[in-house]
Amino acid sequence: MAGGTMNKPRFLSLLLPALLALAACQSPSAEPPLAGARIGGPFTLTDQDGRRVTDAQFAGRYRLVYFGYTYCPDVCPTDMQTLGRGLSLFEKQAPALAAKVQPIFITVDPARDTPAVLKQWVAAFHPRLIGLTGSEAQIAAVAKEYAVIYQRVETPGSTSYLMNHTRTAVLFGPKGEPLALIPQDETPEAAAAELAKWVK
């Protein structure tokens, strides 16, 4: 729970150890670890420039999706830094493939994460990173589709609060299908290697 995060959804928590155990045995043609998982779905949200964005706009592209919030005191900026640097490394190694990947940050704190706040925040991590926000109902709906759990936690004696939330970065394929978890809690090199494994 430290740093405003909670454990992964139960099904991901159960799957992850098995997936990691199999990773060393995978060949380049192996089935993606999250193949067939029921994660992802349609959404309509607002980006950091105030524009309406739907999932359909990313058809044909890989999507690297992370849920968090800009007021997060530690893990969100650390995770996004790792993912941003990992994508930058991948861009240097395989520019054409990396260009197919759209990084997306979706807030779980729409009350504070307005487009203006997101615009300044996402610019710190990667030039192509899109930040998405919306109404409380819109965020709740997309979080449910993407198997993300979040909860507001009040700070005693203060008007401030933290957001406990699922901490995962998921790579989705060109059709919106879930492919693999990208290790945002490891090194940028590890993130880049995992992207290289699944982006074709």
How far apart CA 165 and CA 67 sit, in angstroms, is 8
User: How far apart are the C-alpha atoms of 14 and 148, rounded to whole Å?
Assistant: 15
Q: Which of 93, 26, 105 is nearest to 65 (CA)?
A: 105
Q: Which of 37, 114, 82 is nearest to 185 (CA)?
A: 82
Q: State the Cα–Cα distance between residues 149 and 7, nearest whole angstrom.
A: 9
- The angle at the Cα of 9, spanning 136 to 65, to the nearest 5 degrees, equals 60
CA distance 105 to 108: 10
Whether 25 has a binding-site annotation, put simply, is no
Are 132 and 45 contacting, i.e. CB atoms less than 8 angstroms apart? yes
Cα–chain-centroid distance for residue 136?
18
- In this structure, the strands spanning 130-133 and 101-107 are parallel
- Residue where the block lists tokens 């492919």: 179
Length of the chain (residues): 200
Could you tell me which residues are annotated as the binding site?
A: 72, 76, 165
